[in-house]
Structure 1
Amino acid sequence: MASERTSTEAPYRRIVGEIRRRIESGLLQPGDRVPSARAITREWGVAIATATKVHATLREQGLTISRPGVGTVVAGPVPRREHELNRDRIVRVATAIADEHGMAELTMRRLAAELGVATMSLYRHVPGREELVLAMMDVALGTVRLPPRPPADWRVALEVCAREEWAVFQRHPWLGPSMSLTRPQLAPNGVLLTEWVLTAFDGTTLTGSERMYVQILLFTFVRGLSTALEIENEAVRETGMTGEQWLQTQSGLLTGMIDSGAIDHFRELTEHGFDFGLDQLFEFGLARLLDGIDLFVQARS
């Protein structure tokens, strides 16, 4: 991520140049959305004021226009796109909206505006929002990259699977909160993923039920941790503060409690330093979970 101070060229001009190149190369077509102000701050590491100036400059240069209900899009005539519409394209664009803005912002009306089609035309390809979300989940789970057959060592197999799942949940923060444990949605790629994990225990004496419980336990751990991603993204959108910045606003209260002598263990943590992050928590939790499963597998042998 570039910093505002790493170049003598004005940051907003550098970003305008990059977006112009995307338009001229055809990567962004007339009617396509350009990166939002929030997306610009994340991609280029600039302040929101700089991102706003980028949008203003693009409009002044005639490169973009503002379209109600859609946002800032590439200027130019937008052809009717109903004939280009298909289920895969709908799911791809819906996923992009949810990735950037959160699942709460994904409506059929907004999706249609993004695609440049009438809202009703979407229903010729997806019956409704519930079916759309299921399709999005299935495509996302299909990006979990696993070898055709699990490694011979079940622990290695589960580590590979869990880390691949975690990477997918991070790319799609909406995915975890959209899934149900008690009423699991039947996504074909999710079923194949489960079958892969069940196969990983072929060299053990675990029963089918025991293997399924292990799979549910592992997936629930990864999925449960991932639910924090969407919540954090929404908090950033609402407050404009990162998690680290928000924690700094709470430091006074914590310092007061530490100084009172009521929380000695917290005092020790602050003195020695505590590096907290979801990735660290994932690695710590995965190792402990696999340790426990290892004891169980050994006992069943």
Structure 2
Amino acid sequence: MVYERIAGEIRQRIARGELRPGDRVPSTREITARWGVAMATATKVLAALREEGLVHAVAGVGTVVSSPAPAAPPVVKDDLTADAVVRTALAIADTEGLAALSMRRVAGQLGVAAMSLYRHVPGKDELVVRMIDTAFGASPLPVGSGGWRERLETVARLEWDLFSRHPWLAGAISMTRPTMLPNAVAHTEWIMQALDGHGLTAEEALHAAVTLFGFVRGIAVNLEHEAEQRHQTGITEDEWMARQAGVMTSLVASGRFPMFARMAGSEVDMDLGTLFEFGLARMLDGIGEWISGRAALTGGGRPE
């Protein structure tokens, strides 16, 4: 695969020390220009490097090389803290999924008796809540600057990167019975402030913030399932799609799906990163039209 070759070249530069922790790696636009590939392919390059933990997104900067994760020091029973419990649980969920998480598993990882955890966390449900808040808190929001669209795009990409680093996270968050966590509510507040002054009521700004978050979460909720499938079968998304070639041929030959047939033989990127990019642009377009309509009604100019 082309994206794997490009990712390999950047990976080697990181391994050789040519790109050090904190250094910017080529952006999607730079990758398309340098290697002559489509934007979707460039997006897959950075997604692959993020999944390996080699890079991460920094708002206002771009994608940078990550620092090596320090080895966790052994936890002495008398030094056990709620923070140590939460961070150990995060590591388990990130590598094996939320289904693998239990109080007993966390205790075993820490080398302590399971009952000792309950002095710091009441149970698994509360542990997951604290994990969610800790995950959001580890990705601080940037200082607000720029127009509303730039700011909404920034926070959406930050959330996508957050969900990509924690594949279990999107599925652990409820849209109908949300828990009011300070670090998560900060994202809603940040979006509402970005939309303030553009003719929207506070309730409308809240709906826009929740809808944008719901879009990002809706795509990201598939990340854990894909990670599980890749782990269980050893088959990547691209390999799985390649195995569907026979089914695709049959569907096209049936004549029932003329629009679908137009894509036959074409390279169509339909991975989660591509869907996120497409959907985010269309959602921001829609919010822009909505805000423009309000500006027209009030006699104001076209908003940024």
Which runs of structure 2 are paired with 1:187-226 in the superposition (5 Å)? Answer: 187-226=181-220
**Given that residues 94 and 111 in structure 1 are in contact (C-alpha distance below 8 angstroms), is that contact kept between their aligned partners in structure 2?**
yes
- Aligned AA (1:274): V
**Quick one: distance in 1 between partners of 2:188 and 2:292?**
22
Give the direction of change, closer, same or farther, for the CA distance of 1:282–1:203 in structure 2 (3 Å limit).
same
Counterpart of 2:47 in structure 1 is: none
Is 2:279 the partner of 1:285?
yes
Counterpart of 1:62 in structure 2 is: none
What's the CA shift for 1:80? 7.3
User: What secondary structure does 1:205 align onto?
Assistant: coil
**Quick one: distance in 2 between partners of 1:255 and 1:195?**
49
**Given that residues 154 and 200 in structure 1 are in contact (C-alpha distance below 8 angstroms), is that contact kept between their aligned partners in structure 2?**
yes
**Quick one: distance in 1 between partners of 2:99 and 2:205?**
35
Write out per-residue CA displacement over residues 233-284 of structure 1, whole angstroms, 9 at most, x where no aligned residue.
Answer: 1112222211222222222122122123332322221223212221111111
- Counterpart of 1:186 (choices 180, 183, 190) is 180
Which runs of structure 2 are paired with 1:115-264 in the superposition (5 Å)? Answer: 115-148=110-143, 150-264=144-258
**Quick one: distance in 2 between partners of 1:276 and 1:289?**
18
Gaps in structure 1 of 5+ consecutive residues: 7-41, 44-73
What's the CA shift for 1:81? 2.4
**Quick one: distance in 2 between partners of 1:144 and 1:280?**
23
Give the direction of change, closer, same or farther, for the CA distance of 1:80–1:276 in structure 2 (3 Å limit).
closer
Q: Aligned residues, how many?
A: 231
What's the CA shift for 1:2? 10
RMSD of aligned Cα (Å): 2.5
**Quick one: distance in 2 between partners of 1:2 and 1:191?**
37
Give the direction of change, closer, same or farther, for the CA distance of 1:300–1:178 in structure 2 (3 Å limit).
same
**Quick one: distance in 1 between partners of 2:286 and 2:75?**
57
Counterpart of 2:96 in structure 1 is: 101
Higher Rg of the two aligned structures: 1
If asked which structure has higher relative contact order (CA below 8 Å, sep 6+), I would say: 2
* Structure 1 stretches of 4+ moved >4 Å: none
**Given that residues 152 and 203 in structure 1 are in contact (C-alpha distance below 8 angstroms), is that contact kept between their aligned partners in structure 2?**
no
- Give the TM-score normalised by structure 1: 0.72
- Aligned AA (2:246): G
**Given that residues 192 and 205 in structure 2 are in contact (C-alpha distance below 8 angstroms), is that contact kept between their aligned partners in structure 1?**
yes
Gaps in structure 2 of 5+ consecutive residues: 9-50, 53-70, 296-304
* Percent pairwise identity: 46
- Give the TM-score normalised by structure 2: 0.71
Write out per-residue CA displacement over residues 67-109 of structure 1, whole angstroms, 9 at most, x where no aligned residue.
Answer: xxxxxxx9xxx98721121111111110110011000000111
User: What secondary structure does 2:198 align onto?
Assistant: coil
**Given that residues 173 and 226 in structure 1 are in contact (C-alpha distance below 8 angstroms), is that contact kept between their aligned partners in structure 2?**
yes
Which runs of structure 2 are paired with 1:25-36 in the superposition (5 Å)? Answer: none
**Given that residues 146 and 160 in structure 1 are in contact (C-alpha distance below 8 angstroms), is that contact kept between their aligned partners in structure 2?**
no
**Given that residues 151 and 194 in structure 2 are in contact (C-alpha distance below 8 angstroms), is that contact kept between their aligned partners in structure 1?**
yes
